[in-house]
Amino acid sequence: MNDSSRGAPTSTGYWGPPDQGAAPAGPAYDEPGTQQTRPMPIVPGDPDAGRDAADREDRDRGAARLSGPPVRDEMPQEPMPTPPPPAAPQPSEPQPPQKKRAGRDLRAAIGVGVGLGAVIVAALFVVKSVFVGVIAVAVVVGLWELTSRLRERKGIRAPLVPLAVGGAAMVVAGYVRGAEGAWVATALTALAVLVWRMTEPPEGYLRDVTAGLFATFYVPFLATFVAMMLTAEDGPQRVFTFLLLTVVSDTGAYAIGWRFGRHKLAPRISPGKTREGLLGAVAFGMAAGAVCMPLMIDGGTWWQGLVLGLAVAVSATLGDLGESMIKRDLGIKDMGSLLPGHGGIMDRLDSLLPTAPVVWLLFVVFVGAG
C-alpha cells in the first residue's frame, strides 16, 4: 500500500483519509481544550466493574454542579432586628470608705502589754536583783527565738548553750561589775561560742560562729546597758524613763502613722512604716522626755528631756527597721508566738535593745553615772 492511499497529513501529525481534512473522531484525536472521557474497559466477570463506573459518573455529575452558577436562595430574607439602645447608667450609691485595720489582734496586744508592763514595773521598784533576773530571762528567750529561726530558715546552727549561759552572765556582770565586767563577760561568751562549735563537723563552721557572735552582740550585749542603768542610785527611775519613752515613741508612731500615714519611710524593709509615723514618734517622744526628765531624774531638765526623747525616737525606729530587715531575710513575719498580739520576745525587744546604750550614754553625759 503506497503513501497516497493514506491521505494527506493533518496538523496533528497523523495521516487522515484522502477525502477528509479533519482528523478521525475518537478520544485520541480530539481537539485540544475539549473534555475527554475515556471509558475504562470492563473485564468480564469482574463484580466491581459496574460499581466503579457508577462511582465515576456520580463524581462527574458532582463536578458539573460545582462548576455551574451558584445556587441562590429564592426565599425572602427577613431584616435583622435592631438591638435596643443601651439603658442609661444608673448612678451608683456612694460606698462608705473602708476603715484601716490593724495588722494584729489589738485587744490581745493591749492586754498582754499591760500585764507584762505591770510585772516589769513591780519587779523594777521592789527589788533590783529581781529585775536583773527578768532581763536575763528575756535575753535567754530572745536568743532561743533568734537561733531557732536561723536554723529553720537558713540552716545556720548557732550554738545556743554558750549563748544562753554567756548572755545571762553578761547581764549579771554588767549589774555587778559595771562596764568592765560586761566587756569581760562578752569576750568570754564569744570565745565559748568558737570552742563549742568545734565539737561538730567543720562544714559551716565559719557561718555558724559568725551568727553566734552576731547574736552575742545583738541581744545580751545591748541588754547589758539596761542592767548598768540600774546600778545608779536612781536606777529604777532611769530604767522606767527609758522604757516609758520607748513605749510612748512606738505608740506615737503607730497612732499617727495609722491615721495620717501616706508616705512610706522604708518600703523595701517595712512597708507599714511611714514618714508621718516617724514624726509622730519624735513628737510623742520629745513631749514625754520633757515631762519625765525633770520629774524622774535627779538634776534633769526639760531640754535634756527633749534631746533624750528625740534620740529615743530615732534609735527605736532604727532598731525596729533592723529587726524587720532580719525577718525579711528569713522570710518570716514574727520571731515567735510567745506573746499573743505581739509575736515573740524579740518582737518586743527590737526597739528596746538599740535604744538602751543611747539612753545610758545620755544619762551619763547629762547627770553622771550616779
125-178 pLDDT tens trace: 888 889 999 999 999 999 999 999 999 999 999 999 999 999 999 999 999 999
Last residue of a domain, one of 181, 197, 231: 231
Local structure of 339: helix, strand or coil: strand
- Residue 41 within any structural domain of the chain: no
- Residue 186 within any structural domain of the chain: yes
Residues 249 and 206 in one domain: no
- Residue 18 within any structural domain of the chain: no
Residues 348 and 245 in one domain: yes
Last residue of a domain, one of 206, 231, 256: 231
Reference 155, options 207, 190, 192; nearest CA is 207
* Helix (H) and strand (E) counts in the chain: 11, 2
- Residue 192 within any structural domain of the chain: yes
243-253 pLDDT tens trace: 999 999 999 99
Residues 340 and 304 in one domain: yes
Residues 191 and 246 in one domain: no
Residues 254 and 319 in one domain: yes
Residues 220 and 238 in one domain: no
pTM: 0.71
- Residue 219 within any structural domain of the chain: yes
Residues 227 and 303 in one domain: no
CA-angle at 224, arms to 219 and 229, nearest 5° = 140
Q: Which range marks the domain in which residue 175 is found?
A: 122-231
Q: Give Rg (Cα) of the chain.
A: 48
- Cell readout for 130 is 529581781
Residues 202 and 287 in one domain: no
Question: Which residue has 435583622 as its cell numbers?
Answer: 80
Residues 208 and 246 in one domain: no
Domain count, the chain: 2
251-282 pLDDT tens trace: 999 999 999 999 999 999 988 899 999 999 99
Give the residue ranges of the chain where pLDDT is below 50: 1-40, 42-49, 63-76, 99
Q: CB-based contacts of 296: which residues, under 8 Å, 6+ apart?
A: 234, 237, 238, 240, 241
- Residue 107 within any structural domain of the chain: no
C-alpha 184: how far from its chain's center? Answer: 41
Q: Which helix (H) or strand (E) holds 223?
A: helix 222-229
Residues 254 and 156 in one domain: no
- Cell readout for 55 is 462511582
Last residue of a domain, one of 174, 208, 231: 231
Residues 251 and 181 in one domain: no
Q: What's the pLDDT score for residue 170? A: 97
Q: How far, in Å, CA of 258 to CA of 32, rounded?
A: 95
